[in-house]
Chain A
Amino acid sequence: MFYQITTYLHLLVLLYAAAAGLSYLILAIIAALELNHYQKKIRTGMPAAGLSSPFAPALTVIAPAFNESLNIIDNIKGLLALKYSKLSIIVVNDGSKDDTLSKVISEFKMEKIFYPFDYEIGCQPIRGIYKSANPALDKLIVVDKENGGKADALNAGINICRSELFMSMDVDSLIDRDSIIKLVRPFLQETHKKVIAVGAVVRVANSCDISGGNISHVKVPRNIWARFQALEYIRAFLIGRMAWKRLDGLLLISGAIGMFDIETVKACGGYLKKTVGEDMELLVRMRRYMNEKKLPYSVDFVPDPLCWTEVPESLKTLGRQRNRWMRGTMDTLRFHKRMLLNPRYKSVGMLGYPYWMIFEWLAPLLEFAGFIYFLVLAVTGDINWNYVIILLTFVYMFAVGMSTWAIFLEAFTFHKYDKPSHIASFLVTALMEPIIYHPLTVWWGLRGNIDYFRGISTWGTQERKGFTRKKKKPKAAV
């Protein structure tokens, strides 16, 4: 009986490895094709024509801020430098306990104004809306509200918005000055399908040189954990997101940068406050809504690195972040479980959802179970070392191969890491990643599963160094 079980488990492991390998391979090929297509597309047209055209849509950038006193002024100045004429910037002070609001008010000479709006989407009460007395800062609006978390702050911003599109972002991320015109382009190019959301690539800003609120010199992070994440981001965004965009099964647009059609977001009820994965949940809900209403739509993705973010450099903070991401994924998959293998939801239900379920949610569980199974076999002396060695070598080889492919794609497309030492550094990181970093992500994923079933739904304490200051800055949970 035991041997029969082990045979079936062998088969299961093989089947999982084969399915994972095959799907990653297919995604890698599709991503390369899509990137190639994008490279040709951006050579055409005059994107700058859209910057000030009377036909360009109005757009609002919503930046939620909570206890951002250290960097808020620099961050707002960075946003004010974004290139687009019909632009409004809404900074939502989410009940900060520090002097975030007073700093903004005094720096930009803000005054409380009467600004009519409706609570179309539920959010905590708004205490006041501020605009600057300086006409040059007319596009800046500061919203002060009771604390309610990031999703709640974004919902407040959406309620204030008077544009057709909005861009959500993290106020502590660095946004490329040309990012808006690149993100708006898919909305302008919509045909019979309505473009409901557009995402972009997020890159790691740790160790990069920053001047004037922008990345002036791209560098590979010095910290090993940040470097692992930098490689992971390149792989996830250039292969995963790009390929899923082509397959029309994209389920996630990063909370750090994303542009949305405001009408659809409002119709869906805005960001969900009871989840820690509000970015993924919103997109899945929007797709579900459009499918259920039988409205033709599309979700686009721009592979340009338009957003640079600071990633955790300590294992503790990184673990907490991954734990949260896992709980967010599980929340979204649970809320929208009826989409699973449901042809009504087209490629999202038939491809995107099952993929996320197996390779994002269940992968850490399966991999951990495989590890336990391996230990059991080792203890009982039933291990087939030939099998183990071949499988592990193959998996290692495949993982390194995928990372190398991602580095290759980056170098041949956007080429942000332009020195041979950068490539060498990433290749060495790729060799180490499956042995050092991947087991940790499995562990954090497992902890996320456990915490989810224990009912933990907090964000956890985040810790950032900040781009301009190198002192550790504690950030309380939102």
Chain B
Amino acid sequence: MGPGERHIIAEGPLSEVVPQVMVMIFLLLVFILSITILLLIRQSIHQYLTTRKSRIKQKYHEILIECLFSSGEHIVDDCKIKGDRGKRLLYKTMIYLMHNLNGEYAEKLKTYFYEMGLEKYLLQNLRSKRWWIITQGLRDSRIMGYKKAVTFAEKYINAKQLELRVEAQISIMSMKTHDPFEFLNRLKRPFSPWARIHLFQEISFWEEKPDASQWLTSENPGVLVFALRVMTLWGQKGDNNLVHPLSDHPNPLVRSELISYAAHIKDKDLWNKGAMKYHSETNAVRQTIAKTSGMLPNISGELLINWFNKEQVAIIKIELARALLIHGQNDGLSQAELAALGSVA
């Protein structure tokens, strides 16, 4: 390679690159300027729209409140709804209001909602192709008691998007068009803690609590944990034929939940069945057994002492010591040790 061929990039007088550099600088300035202008425009439009929307919403809000506390015959005229945008805002205002209302006023608002044909926006959202819009549609349908949404919800109980499927599950459950918990047996995806939290939040408001033991037929470990926890919280006793086989369940979370359930409803046989297998259990399950061992009367002192002598994990050992203390098996412990156990954090 000769000296003349050594450069791979165009070589020539400096003035030749000046236009290229100028173009690049110009492009950069255009880019920055566009972004700046876009941000400023966005900010002013956003501010303008927010103010306008909140003004209209406030107006609707006031009219709706007034209607709720009066006969409210001419709500559509009062709201002066001209176009689709106005109706959509009214729809959003109603949904917002529904979050803060219940009883007679909530029912009255629902009536206005359907009288004004605003359910068409629910349907629009439910028919959307975007998962987050459908999710919002399901949530709003649930608030407005729009039972047709259940048909849509049925399609999404195993949706890929967790938020969508949880919303679908809550909708089916809360609208109770048919067996509200039947879907639990049809779950193909894991029943995550997020779903459990939301479903429990929903059913905790029900006056008539559902029988959680009916969900024990599910093969989904998440559903089983959910069922056992709900049974524990509400003190529901399940059918032994369904409950007892769970002590051999392969999932440690289910076994741990079962132990806790057994202790809370004072099912000593079930608790013993799980506790006898402590040596082959995971730390978490052993900890639950130890923690609950003071909750039941007449627990075998031999079991606790043998376990206490073999246990390596300090926190489990302390729980066992505490249980021994509760069951009066405190031979050999000094007063100081007893005092320390009594005050253990």
Contact = CB atoms under 8 A, between A and B. Distances in A.
A45 interface: yes
Interface string B190-209: 10111011101100000000
Contacts of A41: 132, 163
Contact of A189 (B3, B6, B24, B194): B194
A44 B313 CA distance: 41
Interface in B154-191: 162-164, 166-167, 189-190
Nearest to A113: B345
B318 interface: yes
Contacts of B14: 385-386, 389
Contact of A423 (B39, B226, B344): B39
Interface string A345-386: 000000000000000000000000000000000000000111
Nearest to A131: B345
Contacts of A424: 36
B17 A386 contact: yes
Interface stretch (B27-35, B51-59, B64-72, B113-121): B27-35
Interface in B304-339: 312-315, 317-318
Nearest to B202: A49
B218 interface: no
Interface string A376-403: 0000000011110110011011001100
A53 B1 contact: no
Contacts of B130: 40
Contacts of B1: 3-4, 7
B39 A389 contact: no
A408 interface: yes
18 contacts: A40-B130, A43-B132, A44-B164, A54-B233, A56-B193, A57-B193, A114-B343, A116-B314, A116-B345, A118-B315, A188-B193, A191-B192, A386-B14, A390-B21, A397-B27, A408-B35, A420-B39, A423-B40
A50 interface: yes
B70 to A, nearest CB: 32
B344 to A, nearest CB: 5
A56 B195 CA distance: 11
Interface of A: 3-4, 6-7, 10-11, 14, 40-41, 43-46, 49-50, 53-57, 113-118, 129, 131, 162, 185, 187-192, 384-387, 389-390, 393-394, 396-397, 400-401, 404-405, 407-408, 411-412, 418, 420, 423-424, 427, 430-431
A7 to B, nearest CB: 6
Given A188-B193, A384-B11, A45 B166 contact: yes
Sorted from nearest, which 7 A-B pairs have the closest CB atoms? A44-B163, A387-B9, A40-B132, A3-B6, A188-B194, A116-B318, A386-B17
A50 B193 CA distance: 9
A114 to B, nearest CB: 5
B163 A185 contact: no
A203 B28 CA distance: 27
Contacts of A116: 314-315, 317-318, 344-345
A43 B201 CA distance: 18
Contacts of B192: 188-191
B132 A7 contact: no
Contacts, number: 160
Contacts of B8: 7, 10-11, 14
A386 B25 contact: no
A249 B2 CA distance: 46
A424 B343 CA distance: 60
Nearest to A190: B192
A262 to B, nearest CB: 11
B136 interface: yes
B239 interface: no
Contact of A386 (B16, B38, B39, B315): B16
Given A188-B193, A411-B39, A393 B21 contact: yes
Contacts of A418: 43
Given A117-B315, A387-B7, A55 B40 contact: no
Contacts of B16: 386
Classify chain B: how many residues form its interface, as a range.
35 or more
B255 interface: no
Contacts of A10: 7-9
Contacts of B17: 385-386, 389-390
B344 A114 contact: yes
A57 B42 CA distance: 40
A427 B32 contact: yes
A405 B14 CA distance: 32
Contact of A427 (B36, B136, B201, B313): B36
B198 A49 contact: yes
Given A44-B132, A386-B12, A54 B229 contact: yes
Contact of B25 (A118, A387, A393): A393
Contacts of B198: 45-46, 49
Contact of A117 (B38, B164, B314): B314
Interface in B273-324: 312-315, 317-318
A71 B10 CA distance: 60
A256 to B, nearest CB: 26
Contacts of B340: 114
Contacts of B196: 55
A55 B9 contact: no
A55 B345 contact: no
B40 A420 contact: yes
Contacts of B190: 190-192
A140 to B, nearest CB: 12
A44 B197 contact: no
Contacts of A384: 7, 9, 11
Nearest to A412: B42
Given A114-B340, A386-B16, A390-B17, A408 B39 contact: yes
Contacts of A188: 192-194, 197
Given A6-B6, A384-B7, A387-B9, A185 B317 contact: no
Nearest to A162: B315
Contacts of B194: 45, 50, 185, 188-189
Contacts of B125: none
A458 B130 CA distance: 52
A408 B201 contact: no
B304 to A, nearest CB: 17
Contacts of A11: 8
Given A189-B192, A385-B14, A386-B10, A3 B3 contact: yes
B20 interface: yes
A420 B43 contact: yes
Contact of A55 (B6, B11, B32, B193): B193
B204 to A, nearest CB: 9
A363 B7 CA distance: 24
Given A11-B8, A188-B194, 11 more contacts: A7-B7, A40-B131, A115-B344, A129-B345, A188-B197, A191-B189, A386-B12, A390-B20, A397-B24, A404-B31, A424-B36
A80 B119 CA distance: 45
A276 to B, nearest CB: 31
